[in-house]
Amino acid sequence: MTSKLIENTIRPDVRALASYHVPDASGYIKLDAMENPYPLPDRLRTELAMRLADAVLNRYPIPTYGTLKQKIRANLGVPEGFDVILGNGSDEIISIVATAVARSDRRAVIMAPVPAFVMFARSAQMAGCDFVGVPLGADFSLDREAMLAAIAQHKPAALFLAYPNNPTGNLFDEADMEAIIEALGDTGIAVVDEAYGPFAQASFMDRLPRYPNLVVMRTLSKLGLAGIRLGYLAASPALLEQLDKVRPPYNVNVLTQVAAEFALDHIAVLNAQADALNAARGELAASLATLPGVTVFPSRANFLLVRVPDADHACAQLLADKIMIKNMSKMHGLLANCIRVTVSTPEENSAFVEALRGALETR
């Protein structure tokens, strides 16, 4: 009966999907999810515990989230006259955009260069939209002409550009991105995903007043707050008003709100951690480049994309050594034999390099 029930009620495309798998990392060096390895200093953790103890858990959150949004605008570069909406991580923000542009009279198109963050395509599918991926160049740059041709052909309602891109780590050319935003005009929303902004030190946020169809999406996860699941999106007031209609009420819980407000009061600590990881990224890249048969691609994020002679073998050996990284080799043809590794502490970075060296020697 259960199988018949599922067949009769669950959409065929959902039945065909594999679940988004997150492996158990207990006992492993976890370098597969681009997390900040550094906790808050002890004195701040003690102060945060006191703030959380005072959180009003028996009431719903204040639905406007006014204080938190004010702190985001003040600390994270949102232009004057622009506001934000909040989400349960950037995943919910992506879903909000996809749901807002989905149509009942025809299939709306959502577009992104590929390879890209998998949730762009998955959210499009869940919202009932068609997803069109436009391959990047061999060097992971935007294929400007192909993107413009695809926009003219498919007329996407929304187009996602990750800046820097995941999983490649590079920043797309600004002029190419501006050409794409302009080509969309008043027929498509350009969503610039700046999840890795704290490490890239580059942003399209200041271009919001110039492009009415531009929205900038960010998350606090990569900055060091992955556990509280908070994303936000900035856009023109008129566009933000429409997107906010799709946001579920009370979608950000009280504990997340309190923790985020506290962290933004101490943003300098998190920025210093990001600076340390940026320095470590260069050191890790230099160490990996000395290994035989290894290519390290330039990155402006808190991770590195690395091509090895045999990604499956390397990942299996690393897993045996209790180190978790991400095997990207089957995601897209451009990523053949590529692995992705989070930049972490000096100790964990060294452990990874030595384990990868051993994996290469046993091939």
pTM: 0.95
- Give percent above pLDDT 70 in the chain: 99
For residue range 181-218, what is the model confidence (pLDDT) as tens digits?
999 999 999 999 999 999 999 999 999 999 999 999 99
**Does the pLDDT value for residue 20 go beyond 90?**
no
Domains within the chain, CATH numbers bracketed: 2-41+268-361 (3.90.1150.10), 57-264 (3.40.640.10)
Mean pLDDT of 245-255: 95
HEC readout, 211-276:
CCCEEEEEECHHHHHHHHCCEEEEECHHHHHHHHCCCCCCCCCHHHHHHHHHHHHCHHHHHHHHHH
* Over residues 148-171, mean pLDDT: 98
Whether the CB-CB separation of 93 and 231 falls below 8 Å is answered with: yes
Max alpha carbon distance in the chain (Å)? 59
Instruction: Give me 27's structure tokens.
Output: 């006992």
* Residue 124, pLDDT score: 97
User: Kind and range of the H or E element at 73?
Assistant: helix 66-75
Neighbouring-strand partners of residue 191: 160, 215
* Residue 82 pLDDT: 96
